[in-house]
Amino acid sequence: MSSIKEHDYLKICAELASFLTISIAAAKKKIDVEASKKGARDISSRKAIAEMLLAEAREKSSSDKKGNTHQLDSLLEALAEEENFMVED
């Protein structure tokens, strides 16, 4: 039964890693740090922490989505003095 719980935990770690575009090891480390802050030692509490971190990341991403798009657009705009700038080979 513990292997099934561990499989679910690893699946959530992989989802968190994919969503944050980090490695699975980094996602597990992030969960471990948060678990140590809360004193969680068993796999079920770590799974709950992982689900919480994933939900927070999704919530933050959905609220910042418009802001990130606007920020990228502003970074890609050429300044007036740089519009005709060309780099020579």
Q: What's the pLDDT tens digit per position in 15-37?
A: 999 888 899 999 999 999 999 99
Domain residues for the domain of 45 are: 2-74
Question: The pTM is what?
Answer: 0.65
Domain assignment of residue 82, yes or no: no
Residues near 6 by beta carbon (within 8 Å), at least 6 away in sequence: 43
- Structure confidence at residue 35 (pLDDT): 93
First to last CA, the chain: 63
Residue 28 lies in a domain: yes
Residue 77 has what pLDDT? 75
Please tell me the distance from the alpha carbon of residue 35 to that of residue 5, in angstroms, as a whole number.
17
Count of domains forming the chain: 1
Report if residue 80 sits inside a domain. Answer: no
Residue type, 28: K
The answer to whether position 89 is within a domain reads no
Residue 38 lies in a domain: yes
